[in-house]
Each structure stands twice: as structure tokens, then as C-alpha cells.
Structure 1
Amino acid sequence: MAEELKVIVFTLAQEEYGIEVDKVRTIERLVPITRVPKTPEFVKGVINLRGIVIPVIDLRGRFGLAETELTDNSRIIIVAANELEVGFIVDSANDVMDVMSDAIENPPEVLGGIKAKYISGVAKIGENRLLILLNLIEVLNRNEIIQLEQFGE
């Protein structure tokens, strides 16, 4: 029997993505971000969220998509991966959705210019809606996690 997977749905460049609900700590409106020198371009800096310093990544930059102006719909999704909390800047965070495991297929090699290693699968929702499921372990690969952990110290 197919299992149900709960995901937070967010958008980047008109595409819908999903992150498993149990990996998401909170979704925040944009707050001031303090720039950190000598970091990759997609690392926007750190925020102070209720007394915790959290590194913030622009997912558009991480995936090599064109960056755009942030809007009132832009959000920071705080995720937890490998005991590290990181904020992802996204265009909007819309929804929580149940996805059946049998509706999830392996990702194609490249999807909208995003390398397959960043994607854990693609879920078919209804007739013509696709949801790209992120592989958080690769989005925050080991070397970058080490760099980000140094911010928090």
C-alpha cells in the first residue's frame, strides 16, 4: 500500500517544489539578513531568529536560476538537516500537501536546469501538475554544511 508523504509546497521561478514537513521547522516572512564575507554567492548571510543565528541560502542562486527581486510573497523556510538549521529564500510558500508515495517518480537527469542530485523525486499531482521534491542532503552537501556550521559558531 502506498504511503502518504506530507510536504510543504513552495515556488521558485514558477515551478512548484516540496520539502517533507518533518524537515521544516518554520516558515518566516523576510527579515533583515546580515551578510557574511567570503561565502558563496547563494549564501545570503545569517538571520537572528528568536535568539538563534541561522544561515540563509537563496535557493534560486543555489540552483543556478536567475535571481529576482524579493516580494511580499517571498519567504524564508527554515529547514533542519543533519542537526543544522538553514533558511531557504523562496518566491512563496503556498501549501501543505499529501503526496502518495506511488505518485513519486525518480527525477530526470536535469529538470529546469537543476541538477538531478538536488531532487529526490518528482510527484505527479492530478492530470498536469508536477511537484519537484528536494533532496535536502544534496542541497546542503557536506562541504557546504561544514562552511555553514562555522557561521553558527
Structure 2
Amino acid sequence: MSTEPNTSQSKKARYLTFFLGDEQYGIAIERVKEIIAMMKITAVPKTPQFMRGVINLRGSIIPVVDTRLRFAMPSREADMHTAIIIVEIDKINIGFIVDHVEEVASIDESNLSEPPKFGSYIDTDFISAVAQMGENVVMILDVLKLFEADEIVDLEQIQNLIED
């Protein structure tokens, strides 16, 4: 083991990585509350198309977002790998449906770079950084930017409506 003088500059952060199609994404692990298997989702009328509905998780009503639809990707049927990642955004728990969860990865900050501006399925405003992990490029999501402020209020209202 070599000792480098710049150890203070090589900070590592932990991210939960997951796939949507062939694209790999990451969310800061401190935002992730839990990962659950796909379960029955109750539709809520008059919500955006990407809002699949709500789940009852141990007595808590949690809004669930189809991440593929949120990113304007084609929808797909759930399979045995489909999971729901429960994330906390502004004190609201929200479920994100993903194709499959990969791992919790420690990524050195030196491997993070600014997201490129390119035309893809995803609006690059959602991406806070791009990480190089071996052969893979992982897009690190800024979960706060996944929703506009009014959409967060809508999610909160949906949660309150159903819990009342």
C-alpha cells in the first residue's frame, strides 16, 4: 500500500447504481431509504403519466414514479429484476421504479466529471456528474432536480390526500 501526499483530495462517495435499459445511473446512497421488490401500485387519477400511483409500505403511503417515463424512455413490463428504490426528497419518500439495481459503489471524486451536453433520453439537468467505473459510464442523478418545485408539492398533496 502506497501512501500518497494528496490523500485529502481523493474523497470517495457512495452511490447506489441501477440500470434503465442499457444506461447505468447512480443516486447518492444517503438519499436512499430502502430498495424493495416491485409490488402492487394503486393508480391515482389526474396525476402526470410518469406517476404510476402509490404503494402502502408498512402503513406509509408512498408515491411511485416510473423512472423510464420520467426520462421519456419507453415503458416496459416489470420482471423479476424490477425494483422500487425509495428515496427521500424534501422530507417526502418517493419510490422510483428501475429495471434492476446493480450495487453500492464507492466512487472517487477524481473519477467524477461534469455531465456532457448531449441529446439523449434524459434531460442533462437531472445529471449532477458522470463517473467512470471500469468500462462503464455511470450518470449520477441529482434527485432534487428530477422534479420541478410544483411537482414536489403535488406529490406531497397526493400523499396527504391518501393518508387522510
Please give the range of the TM-score, normalised by the shorter of the 2 chains.
Answer: over 0.9
CA gap of 1:151–1:133, structure 2 versus 1, over 3 A, is same
Q: Which has the higher strand share?
A: 1
Superimposed CA distance per residue, residues 5-64 of structure 1 (whole angstroms, 9 cap, x where no aligned partner): 101010001111000110000000011100000000000000000110000000000000
What RMSD over aligned residues (CA atoms) do the two structures have, in Å? 0.9
Distance in 2 (alpha carbons) for counterparts of 1:22 and 1:144:
22
Deviations 1:106-147 (A, max 9, x none): 111236321111111100112x31011001111022111011
The amino acid across from 2:28 in the alignment is E
- Which residue identity lines up with residue 71 of structure 2 in the other structure? F
The 3-state SS of whatever aligns with 1:53 is: strand
Picking from 79, 82, 93, the partner of 1:74 is 82
CA contact (8 A) 1:109 1:115 kept: no
Matched residue SS, 1:44: strand
Q: Per the alignment, do residues 43 and 60 of structure 1 end up closer, same or farther by CA in structure 2, a change over 3 Å counting?
A: same
Alpha-carbon distance between aligned partners in 2 of 1:8 and 1:111, rounded to the nearest angstrom: 25
The correspondence for 2:14, drawn from 6, 14, 19, is 6
User: Which residue does the alignment assign to 1:41?
Assistant: 49
TM-score (norm 2): 0.90
Unpaired segments of 5 or more residues in structure 2?
Answer: 1-8
Aligned residue number for residue 57 of structure 1: 65
Compute the TM-score of the two structures, normalised by the length of structure 1.
Answer: 0.96
CA–CA separation in structure 1 for the residues paired with 2:97 and 2:139? 16
Q: Is structure 2 residue 153 aligned with structure 1 residue 146?
A: yes
- The 1:78/1:111 distance shift into structure 2, 3 A limit, reads farther
Kindly name which structure, 1 or 2, has the bigger radius of gyration based on alpha carbons: 2
Q: Report % sequence identity.
A: 36
1:10 alignment partner, SS class: strand
For residue 109 of structure 1, give the secondary structure of its aligned residue in structure 2: coil
1:65-91 Cα shifts (integer Å, max 9, x gaps): 011111110000000011111000000
Matched residue SS, 1:151: helix
Gaps of 5+ in 1: none
Q: Which letter maps to 2:156?
A: E
